[in-house]
Amino acid sequence: MDKHHQQQLPVAKSSRQRCSEWVFRDVPSDIIIDVDGGTFSLHKFPLVSRSGRIRKLVAEHRDSDISRIELLSLPGGAKSFELAAQFCYGINFEITAANVAQLCCVSDYLEMTEEYSKNNLGSRAEEYLESVVCKNLEMCVEVLQQCENLLPLADELNIVPRCIDAIASKACVEQIASSFSRLEYSSSGRLHMSKQPKCEGDWWIEDLSVLRIDLYQRVITAIKCRGVRPESIGASLVNYAEKELIKKSILWNQSTQPTVDPLSGANSQERLVVETIVSLLPVEKFAVPITFLFGMLRSAVMLDCSVSCRLDLERRIGSQLDIATLDDLLIPSFRHAGDTLFDVDTVHRILVNFSQQDDSDEDMDDDSVFEPDSPPSPSQTALFKVSKLVDSYLAEIAPDANLKLNMFIAIAETLPAHARTIHDGLYRAIDIYLKAHQSLSDADKRKLCKLIDFQKLSQEAGAHAAQNERLPLQSIVQVLYYEQLRLRNSLFSSYPDDDPKPMHQSWRINSGARSAAMSPRDNYASLRRENRDLKLELARMRMRLNDLEKDHVYMKRNLQRSTSRKLMSSFSKKIIKLNIFGHSSSRESSSPSKQSQRVLQKDPGTVAAVFWPSQDWIVS
């Protein structure tokens, strides 16, 4: 209590000193006004002539000859009351954007309306607010700043809504004026709009960054309703976040991990800022840079923001993950000790969002999507970029001793199988993981290596894998198998062009390299054509097999019915027929044998054993 009185003494002393400068000195004061620690020795007559509230208080205590009045919760405090008292005494002072909100509120509190005096303080302040402040954006922002300590009265007096509406209107007008200024005629005489520098005409962005977060939210919401460009709104959000968060070393701070107490008051305010900015983000893609989204996500994770806030950021990032970089994905983990160095759970959810978006694009008819003459699909291009990004991310987090095998596999399997045309990056990440986690069992190693399609390894990666002792034996055998196929293909490349066998085998053996060179649509169309040819060959083989079965049944029946005397003659005739049949159809049956050999080569992992004429070993 003593400290409170000590703090009020300087205020009261300064109030008396200021009052002595403009109060009548030759007439003794007859009333003392106490306002938030400030004491004013004044006269009743000037006050009651302008203020209805003071008039009522004096009238209520007429009999007791009141000489002291305390005004509780007066908006603006002693400073505002001093301006109102000067107005009652007829002292001239300037109404500005810095005090108009206080004057409007204090005049309402003291009831300084036209009912008690003509051209009273309330009407003067309202006139200035309407005719001067609402026509200037910077002054509106300044008034809103003054209203931060005058709520909710400033809202009830319609000061805040009028300033917000004026700011939104000015921002919209600036955008329209900027668009018209970029209209120009081309050399052909056509009217077109020239390119504008980034955020030209959005000078109001810097002005809004001084507002408190609740008022800033209301201003941005009003600007959105007026149809201002999403890019301008995004630029304003980025600028505001830089002012509120980067200056406190929270946003984009990847080098250090400060200790954060989510329950502290400062962090509660910062958490409110992050959640509000995320809720204000435009729905349009690329309205804000993806690095900004990742920075907000780091802040949301560190400040323990709401789940809806983090999920919204993860969804937005997933929709444009193809333009992200490895540094963006390396989100530090702010959890308990013993956890992974990076937040792999958050990255996994981002990848799931990206994959679900890609799946929704692929729900269309395959014939319409993968026609070879159709334009390239942006989603396929995004898949290729993200697959390289994921492989690099896996290689970066693989040395972490706390990274579980299931999470590593989950991240690798998030993308569909056709996303990776070459598995060199995935093989490198798995090799790093095996090197850092040497205690893995053979079963876990086999489970991990199943992610790799060894047929899609480059020659250099295949040579490395064939000598990699960290791989399980089964994987090494697969690598050697494909390496032999690649060697066999190089030998077949010297065959004449009219021999179709090397060409077909060349495509199958080097499908990974060919896929990388071909576009996804052409690759898919080629696969469809080859599958159609294989189906025709299989159909011919089934027909030939049925014919042979019929001949076999017919021969068996005749052998059973014939006598021992006719057995040799009938058997000789059938042998002759069979020899003639085999000779005449040898050329036709050669093609199915080749096709069957190619079918076996297409999926060697499902074949129990494959025998080559020039080889004496078996691949299980």
Do the domain assignments include residue 307?
Answer: yes
Provide long-range contacts, Cβ within 8 A and 24+ apart, for 426-430.
426/391, 426/394, 426/451, 426/452, 427/452, 427/457, 427/461, 427/465, 428/391, 428/395, 428/461, 429/391, 429/394, 429/395, 429/398, 430/394, 430/398
- The predicted structure's pLDDT at residue 101: 96
Quick one: 93 and 154 in the same domain?
Answer: no
The distance in angstroms from the start CA to the end CA of the chain is 90
| Tokens found for residue 171 | 């921002």
- The predicted structure's pLDDT at residue 289: 94
Quick one: 44 and 121 in the same domain?
Answer: yes
- The predicted structure's pLDDT at residue 250: 47
Contacts with 305 (C-beta within 8 Å, 6 or more apart), sequence order? 271, 274, 275, 278, 299
Residues 71 and 66: their CA atoms lie apart, in Å, by 14
Whether residue 409 contacts residue 384, with contact meaning beta carbons closer than 8 Å, is answered with no
168: domain range? 146-178+202-228
Compute how many other C-beta atoms are within 10 angstroms of the C-beta atom of residue 179: 13
Residues 541 and 521: their CA atoms lie apart, in Å, by 30
Question: Is the peptide bond between 262 and the residue preceding it cis, with omega within 30 degrees of 0?
Answer: no
pLDDT averaged per 10 residues, the chain (length 620): 41 51 69 87 89 89 74 91 91 92 95 92 95 94 94 95 94 71 53 50 83 95 92 93 73 46 68 95 92 94 93 94 94 77 94 78 44 50 92 95 93 91 94 93 93 90 90 88 80 55 40 47 67 76 79 76 56 52 42 41 38 34
- The predicted structure's pLDDT at residue 510: 44
Length of the chain: 620
Helix (H) or strand (E) holding 183: strand 183-185
Quick one: 219 and 300 in the same domain?
Answer: no
| Tokens found for residue 333 | 């983990």
Quick one: 224 and 131 in the same domain?
Answer: no
Quick one: 35 and 69 in the same domain?
Answer: yes
R_g of the chain, CA atoms, integer Å: 42
| Tokens found for residue 618 | 């078996």
Whether residue 432 contacts residue 395, with contact meaning beta carbons closer than 8 Å, is answered with yes
Quick one: 118 and 214 in the same domain?
Answer: no
Q: Where are the beta strands (DSSP E) in 345-438?
A: none
Do the domain assignments include residue 55?
Answer: yes
Domain count, the chain: 3
Quick one: 160 and 110 in the same domain?
Answer: no
The counts of H helices and E strands in the chain are 29, 5
Do the domain assignments include residue 336?
Answer: no
Do the domain assignments include residue 68?
Answer: yes
Do the domain assignments include residue 397?
Answer: no
Closest CA to 50 of 86, 11, 13: 86
Do the domain assignments include residue 59?
Answer: yes
Q: What is the pTM of this model?
A: 0.70
What CATH number is given to the structural domain containing 97?
A: 3.30.710.10
Quick one: 155 and 217 in the same domain?
Answer: yes
Residue 192, classed as helix, strand or coil, is strand
Do the domain assignments include residue 41?
Answer: yes
pLDDT digits (tens, 9 = 90+) for 185-219: 455 555 444 555 444 557 788 899 999 999 999 99
Quick one: 152 and 110 in the same domain?
Answer: no
Whether residue 329 contacts residue 393, with contact meaning beta carbons closer than 8 Å, is answered with yes
- The predicted structure's pLDDT at residue 380: 80
Quick one: 223 and 121 in the same domain?
Answer: no
Task: Give per-residue burial for 554-573: e unless 16+ CB within 10 Å, then b.
Answer: ebeeeeeeeeeeeeeeeeee
Quick one: 29 and 125 in the same domain?
Answer: yes
Quick one: 82 and 154 in the same domain?
Answer: no
Residues 121 and 5: their CA atoms lie apart, in Å, by 32
Do the domain assignments include residue 424?
Answer: no
